Amino acid sequence: MDERPPQAPLRLDVVSLFPQAFRMLYTLGVIGRAFKAGLAELHTHNPRDFAPGPHHKVDDSPYGGGAGMVLKPEPVFAAVESIPVAHRRRVLLMCPQGRPFCQVDAQRLAANHDQLVMICGHYEGMDERIRCLADEELCVGDVVLTGGEIPAMAVINGVLRLRPGTLGQAESLQQESFCQGLLEYPHYTRPRVFQGMEVPAVLCSGDHGAVSRWRQVQREQRTRQRRPELLRPPSI
């Protein structure tokens, strides 16, 4: 029996011009069930609600000229400053200039923080002064998206699945991709033969030691073939 004290719900605060995009999280299998079970709380904050004037304008043309519109700092600052500060808070800015979000980040955020505030940019860009609100900037790869909503949902998914109670079998986290610096081994289920493709005999042998050794070899081979950079020692 797990005798650890129950963990406080993870508070997730998202600053976004499109808060309705995050409703889908409540329908995503184990993630949706985690919200329903009270393992996490999701709060959205629309900068437009904090913008003055009858039109609640949140963008303006850039100083120096150029294409597109820039997200104004005042409504974003006001939205972030309205959020209650919980214990062990971390503010994340979803930005293509940020560091790529990876599994070690998900593990760090899941283990060390009780509140994540995610700021989602939009339009051509955001006023540079908004960056000072964040503790760190994250992206989901070398790609520019129309806004930070999809990256924020990726962070929520990646972090929440690691919180105790989200997955039915916590041991399933121990040999998945990026655990111990390796990709995950191949999986098979019935039928044993499908369109001429057969399940490796070792998996049907009943020899648990042989299965374990095969899986480890597959993890190493797959990582070497697909993500060799994961096997390189970190640069000093």
The ranges of the chain with pLDDT < 70 are 1-6, 168-179, 234-236
- 10-160 and 174-231, same CATH topology: no
Tokens representing residue 214 in the block: 């095969």
Q: How far apart are CA 36 and CA 174, in angstroms?
A: 25
Q: Where are the domains of the chain?
A: 10-160, 174-231
pLDDT score for 5: 47
Query: Directed axis angle between helix 149-160 and helix 29-36, to 10°?
Result: 70
Nearest to 182 by CA among 232, 230, 234: 230
Tokens representing residue 219 in the block: 């993890």
pLDDT score for 115: 98
pLDDT score for 176: 65
> What number does CATH give the domain 10-160?
3.40.1280.10
- What is the full DSSP assignment across 8-30? PPEEEEEE-S-GGGGGGGGGSHH
pLDDT score for 179: 67
pTM: 0.88
| The domain defined by 174-231 carries CATH number 1.10.1270.20 | yes
pLDDT score for 175: 53
Q: Which tens digits make up the pLDDT trace of 26-50?
A: 999 999 999 999 999 999 999 999 9
- What is the full DSSP assignment across the chain? ---SPPPPPEEEEEE-S-GGGGGGGGGSHHHHHHHHTTSEEEEEE-GGGG--TTTT--EEPPTT--SS-EE-HHHHHHHHHTS---SSEEEEEEEEEEEEP-HHHHHHHHHH-SEEEEEE-BSSEE-GGGGGG-SEEEESSS---SBSHHHHHHHHHHHHTTSTTSSS-GGGGTTSTTGGG-PPPP---S-SEETTEE--GGGGS--HHHHHHHHHHHHHHHHHHH-GGGGSPPP-
Q: How far apart are CA 163 and CA 99, in angstroms?
A: 23
pLDDT score for 1: 42
